[in-house]
């Protein structure tokens, strides 16, 4: 190979055609691409994310040790968005602890239904080890503590039939998680719940649950 003497004129650095060799923030771009891939309903592949970021197949591995690490980063971003929606709903909720419990459950289900693919990445243990993300672990602990406080308050105000708060907490969790997953996993048609009915049904089952635990 002859030594290059006259390098072929490169396009000016300012023209858009001149893709810079160094990406601005490839990590960020890969996470966004993966988030989009998931939202489009397909499998998230590292190679496809790389393609969308117009980098080579090996490039992502300079930013993530493996696919799981990318998925964990995706889950963290998705979790932040869900969390923001829930915090917003709680900010608008009344002060009555059972009303807040209701608002919390409804906001959870609605967020999950608004973006099922992102909900799945966060929820399922398949894509990465949840506990390996400090952010997800901390965020989850906050939500657990939040529901605990609501129930404790409700009990203190004599609003509950039972004193077994943990049981109520887990049952409530299972209810909303199960509802969100029935939606995600496509169970509702089989159970005679039509598309347009799901939203009202979410309210219905949460109200039923709260009526069941409330002293009357």
- Footprint of a second copy (CB under 8 A): 123-125, 130-131, 137, 140-141, 144, 161-162, 164, 166-171, 173-179, 181-182, 184-187, 189-193, 201, 204-205, 208-209, 211-213
Q: Which residues contact 205 (CB under 8 A, 6 or more apart)?
A: 175, 179
Helix (H) or strand (E) holding 110: helix 97-114
Which part of the chain contacts DNA (CB under 7 A), choosing from 64-72, 115-123, 177-185, 196-204? 64-72
Residue 47 interacting with DNA (CB under 7 A): yes
From the number of C-beta atoms within 10 Å of its C-beta (0-12, 13-18, 19+), residue 151 rates as: buried
Q: Which residues contact 81 (CB under 8 A, 6 or more apart)?
A: 115, 118
Q: Residue 11 or 174: which CB sits closer to a second copy?
A: 174
State the binding partner of 36 from DNA, a second copy, none, CB within 5 to 8 A by kind.
Answer: none
State the binding partner of 173 from a second copy, DNA, none, CB within 5 to 8 A by kind.
Answer: a second copy
State the binding partner of 26 from a second copy, DNA, none, CB within 5 to 8 A by kind.
Answer: DNA
Which part of the chain contacts DNA (CB under 7 A), choosing from 22-30, 117-125, 156-164, 178-186? 22-30
Among 52, 59, 110, 113, interactor with DNA by CB under 7 A: 59
What are the Cα distances from residue 48, in Å, to 22, 37, 39, 164, 181?
Answer: 19, 8, 14, 49, 27
For 137, the token pair is 């672990």
Q: Which residue, among 170, 173, 172, 179, has the nearest Cα to 113 in the 3D structure?
A: 179
State the binding partner of 21 from a second copy, DNA, none, CB within 5 to 8 A by kind.
Answer: DNA
């Amino acid at each position: 190979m002859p030594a290059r003497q006259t390098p072929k004129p490169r396009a000016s650095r300012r023209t858009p055609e001149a893709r810079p060799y160094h990406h601005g923030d490839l990590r960020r771009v890969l996470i966004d691409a993966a988030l989009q891939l998931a939202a489009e309903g397909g499998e998230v592949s590292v190679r496809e994310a790389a393609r969308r970021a117009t980098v080579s197949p090996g490039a992502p591995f300079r930013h993530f040790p493996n696919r799981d690490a990318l998925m964990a980063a995706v889950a963290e971003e998705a979790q932040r968005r869900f969390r923001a929606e829930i915090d917003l709903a709680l900010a608008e909720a009344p002060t009555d602890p059972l009303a807040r419990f209701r608002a919390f459950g409804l906001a959870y289900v609605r967020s999950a239904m608004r973006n099922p693919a992102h909900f799945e990445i966060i929820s399922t243990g398949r894509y990465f080890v949840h506990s390996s993300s400090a952010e997800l672990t901390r965020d989850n602990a906050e939500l657990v503590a939040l529901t605990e406080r609501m129930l404790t308050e409700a009990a203190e105000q004599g609003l509950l039939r039972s004193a077994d708060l943990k049981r109520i907490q887990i049952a409530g969790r299972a209810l909303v998680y199960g509802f969100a997953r029935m939606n995600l996993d496509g169970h509702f048609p089989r159970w005679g719940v039509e598309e347009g009915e799901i939203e009202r049904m979410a309210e219905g089952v949460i109200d039923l649950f709260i009526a069941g635990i409330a002293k009357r």
